[in-house]
Chains A and B, each alone.
Chain A
Amino acid sequence: MSRALEGVMLAIAVVFAACVYARPSFAGDGADATSSRQLFIDQRRLPEDAGNANQPPPPPGNGDEARKAEEQRKLDELAAKLKAQEEELATREAAARKKLEELKRLSAEEEVKRKEDEEQLRAREAEAQKQVEEAKRLADEARSKLQEDLKNQLERKANSDSSSPAVSPAIGNSTEKNADAPAQLEPRATLTVPAIALTCPDATVAVEPLPGGRSKIAVHSPCRHGQGVNMQYGPLVIGRTFDDKGDAEFIADMFLGPDAKTGVSLADGQQQRLQLVTGDLDEVTKVAVIWDAPVDLNLHAFEYAAMQGEPGDVWSGAPRDAAVASELVTKDGRGHGFMSSVSDGKAAGPKAEVFTFWHGKQPSRGVIAMALDYETRGTNPNGDTCGSGRYAQVPIEVIVRETSGAVTRQNGLIASVPCGQTLSSEARYQTGIVPDIRIHNAH
């Protein structure tokens, strides 16, 4: 644009200069030149009334030279103006060019920064992907190992007992006798909650399902070794201490289902709510007895008319872990269960005993008779546990969770007995307080 303006101005200047220096032809040479000049002059003088009113009259006498001088003076002025304008245009153009270069420079810098950010983002994604793949790899490894173990056990089983019915992979077998054995379930039960970082930078909580409608909660916090950590499930609070490696484990027996209020809390007050995960909760019936008094109660489950002390008498003294119960179900097709306990009655706070019953796959009938033993009171009650003693009566709550998910809760009270009188077996192992489990698939 500046060049165009410059060109126009230059053209005007050329034309103007041509007209001025052709003035001698105005002085009398040729009629065309004269008339042109005169036309030009006349044109210049046309707005005589308006434009020329203030112009000084030409000096008298030497008129042509004065006129030429005047014209030259004006021409010089015009040239000077043109030059000034040209310089200004050049300056503006230079400024514009400079600005453009600045913009280009800034743009280039931003591009560099954007590329850097993009690279960083890609790096973070790659890192996260690596972590996910690592977790999957570990999970796949664990799954393969469990399936291999299961396969080996099936083979051993098939070789030793050819009449055994097919194993339900959902229950599985375990060579470990520990009730806290890792999950031996189908892939549908391998959900693992990602690590939740608590305020202590390296504290993580992992939840995984265990057979028999339970969840394992593993808390890892090396910076808290030796400190206490609590896990709450419904009304129960269980305490542990972080070991030297900063590990603490809990098992939540889900007699209230997976959605009961659950969480962990640290010694420094930090808390974290948890969502429990379940694998086979819809295959079991759970019967729980909850009490608060500092006494020991034992829930007994007598399977299929078993008598006290026999293998079918399942209680905290002979709890029969989940793996053994599962194996029994596989072996005879009938339902069997195991017992879990929270507290031995000495600690403060709510306590629980939970009987988990796996229903068999094959049609069967029967009743699992439930009885409650006031262990602390024993057969010869005395002191606080009888008469009008502080713990002569013990309030309890009985919670039953069916395979359908329905939960019934009932309040009960263990009645007082006179002190000093030996209790009969029926009085010691009380039936009727906790409902029996009736198996209805055989009528």
Chain B
Amino acid sequence: MPGRDNAARILACTIVGICACTANAFSGEVTLRAKNGDFEIKGELTAYDQNKYTILSTSLGAMSLDASRFDCIGSNCPTDAVAMRTEAAPPDVPAGPTSISISGSNTIGNQLMPSLIDAYAGSTSKTLTKVVSPDGLDVEFRMSGKDGKDEGVIALHRHGSATAFADMEKKVSQIGMASRRVKDDEVQKLAAIGLGDVRRPGSEHILGLDGLLVLVSPQNPVVSLPMDTIAKIFSGEITDWSQVGQPAGKIDVYAPTKESGTFDTFESLVLKPHKFELTPNAKRTANHAEQSDWVAHDRNGIGFAGIAYQRNAKALNIVSTCGLIAPPSTFSIKTEEYPISRRLFLYTGGEPRDPVARGLLEFALSHDAQRIVKQSDFIDQVPETASYESQTSRIAFGLNAAPLNFDENLMNAFTTDIRSAQRLSVTFRFQSGSYELDNKALADAKRLVELLKTDAYKDKSVLLAGFADTKGTFSVNRSLSLHRAQAVLAVMKANGLSHRQAKLAVKGYSELAPVSCNDTEEGMQLNRRVEVWIN
């Protein structure tokens, strides 16, 4: 559509113009121009491996672009014979049996990673012999070929997400599993040993999605609890079920160990916002399955674990501070609008040197592996749809709890735009006041482009609907939300979306129809988004 193409060109030229004025502020600056001429972007080229360019743009953030679709313009462009690397070129890995180590999250390591290792071995015609340590936290997968020849070992250590980065720092492990994002101090420690910024594309990988469930026994009659009440229970401020309107009984609190990413997520999303700490009386274990079964067995128990560890326990609905009730569901977790949603990460120092580690990582991030993610009761990243009707509750909530600045006409336009459409679970999120896409958003953009090429979607109309939190004025937020939608479109085009492939519209709806409460930073983070609606 000419209008949209012009908008993209204007945006790109703006970006180029800005970059030209500040050219001296960057080193290694290049321009990547799409071969079809539709799009170009300027920024610092940080990596190139003959298959993709990784470029850091001040406005769009870091992006990985298919090298076959772009020409590199500028003196800093690599020649075909030279491959740029983010770190020193690794030495060749010697042939023969290799031993690699994967450390970190028990959430990922208990079942999902063993299933991935098993499937990877099967795909490479290797046989595995599994040896579990007596405490169950360490597993050795001894690989052998068809002829029985020793092909090495994959050692899996599942002592908690924090140990992922500790073991990578000690150079014990090549791959780290984490059920929470790497922290700043951990990034610095890993950069100090030469692994670079592990938050960058190529080092930080999203394996799947998860939601933390607050668990009780099936015999417990409670169905939902407000978030602040949950915080009080886990802090020990509420000690008896009668205090929350249930039959009396002393509350038994269960929790993962402090090394656990699950605990870290819960602490940051539930306890700390209410200025609480976990009660010292909590019974703790590194084994999420064990904790879940303890809770299920204890009528007065309460605990928390990832969705894959609900097992025999009952999950409570979470009532947000502003009254939004969020039942844990696949869609709410895929959109990350469930209050305690999280991502499951794999971290590497760039591309692993060891061929087994490299092959396993590649397999774990493949489309085939998403099936295993789903079978392990986690949430895969395959987009799914939800009807307009399923979204009306939050739209109605938004109408009832209208922000201070409210444009009724814009709200009507939004409901009109989506009334006959379906919402895709792919949702792009942004930092406050910016339209810079994060790593997951970049990967989602690519996924969305591929999806729109399929027969089921190629004749559909697509609406990229941008939103904002309540910081700032309504009109500024409206402009910001529109820019966010446009940024998503730009990245989609950079990933090969042709305007002929889908009828695309970009619109900004400011603060309307929030999906979370705007009274916490976490809630506002969820509201800074671009939704995708398909008609």
Contact = CB atoms under 8 A, between A and B. Distances in A.
Interface of A: 302, 304-307, 365-367, 369, 395, 410-413, 415, 417, 423-424, 426-427, 430-433, 436, 438, 443
Given A305-B293, A436-B289, A413 B136 contact: no
B440 interface: no
The secondary-structure label for the interface of chain B is: mixed
A297 B287 CA distance: 23
B118 interface: yes
Interface in B227-263: none
Nearest to B329: A443
Contacts of A413: 129-131, 142
Given A302-B293, A366-B311, A411-B129, A432 B377 contact: no
Interface residues of B, number: 28
Contact of A415 (B133, B312, B330): B133
A431 B136 contact: yes
Nearest to B129: A411
Contacts of B127: 411
Contacts of A431: 136, 287, 289-290
Interface string B94-119: 00000000000000001000000010
15 contacts: A365-B310, A366-B312, A369-B311, A395-B129, A410-B118, A413-B129, A413-B142, A423-B134, A426-B134, A426-B135, A426-B290, A427-B134, A427-B135, A431-B290, A436-B289
A432 B136 contact: yes
Contact of A433 (B130, B289, B311): B130
B130 A412 contact: yes
B130 A411 contact: yes
A305 B118 contact: no
B172 interface: no
Contacts of A306: 297
Contact of B128 (A411, A423, A432): A411
B312 A367 contact: yes
A430 B131 contact: no
Contacts of B290: 426, 431
B162 interface: no
B489 interface: no
Most buried by A among B133, B293, B312: B312
B149 to A, nearest CB: 15
B34 interface: no
A366 B309 CA distance: 10
Contacts of B134: 415, 417, 423-424, 426-427, 430
Given A305-B297, A305-B312, A410-B118, A369 B130 contact: no
A111 to B, nearest CB: 70
B296 A305 contact: yes
B396 interface: no
A369 B293 contact: yes
A426 B312 contact: no
A305 B311 contact: yes
Contacts of A443: 330
Given A431-B136, A432-B110, A438-B377, A304 B312 contact: yes
Contacts of A410: 118, 128, 130
B77 to A, nearest CB: 49
B334 to A, nearest CB: 14
Nearest to B137: A432
B413 to A, nearest CB: 36
B297 A307 contact: yes
Contacts of B83: none
Given A305-B296, A305-B311, A410-B118, A415 B128 contact: no
Contacts of B287: 426, 431
Contacts of B110: 432
Contacts of B377: 438
Nearest to A302: B293
B318 interface: no
Most buried by B among A305, A436, A438, A443: A305
B451 interface: no
A126 to B, nearest CB: 59
Given A410-B118, A410-B130, A426 B136 contact: yes
Contacts of A433: 130, 132
B139 interface: yes
A366 B215 CA distance: 13
Interface string B125-167: 0011111111110010010000000000000000000000000
B293 A432 contact: no
A382 to B, nearest CB: 16
A427 B134 CA distance: 4
A302 B330 CA distance: 28
A392 to B, nearest CB: 12
A433 B131 CA distance: 8
Contact of A432 (B118, B132, B312): B132
Contacts of B136: 426, 430-432
Interface string B290-307: 101110110000000000
B132 A367 contact: no
A242 B118 CA distance: 45
B293 A415 contact: no
Contacts of A432: 110, 132, 136, 139
Nearest to B298: A305
Contacts of B131: 412-413, 415
Contacts of B289: 367, 369, 431, 436
Contacts of A411: 127-130
Contact of B132 (A395, A415, A423, A424): A415
A307 B290 CA distance: 11
A410 B294 CA distance: 28
Most buried by A among B132, B287, B297, B377: B132
Nearest first, the 4 closest Cβ-Cβ pairs linking A and B are A305-B296, A427-B134, A367-B311, A305-B293
A304 B287 CA distance: 17
A292 B10 CA distance: 73
B287 to A, nearest CB: 8
Contacts of B310: 365
Nearest to A440: B377
A443 B132 CA distance: 30
A433 to B, nearest CB: 5
B157 to A, nearest CB: 13
Nearest to B158: A432
B411 to A, nearest CB: 34
Contacts of A427: 134-135
Contacts of A438: 377
Given A304-B296, A305-B311, A305-B313, 18 more contacts: A302-B293, A304-B312, A305-B296, A305-B312, A365-B310, A367-B289, A369-B289, A369-B311, A395-B129, A411-B130, A415-B133, A424-B135, A426-B136, A427-B134, A427-B135, A430-B134, A431-B136, A432-B136
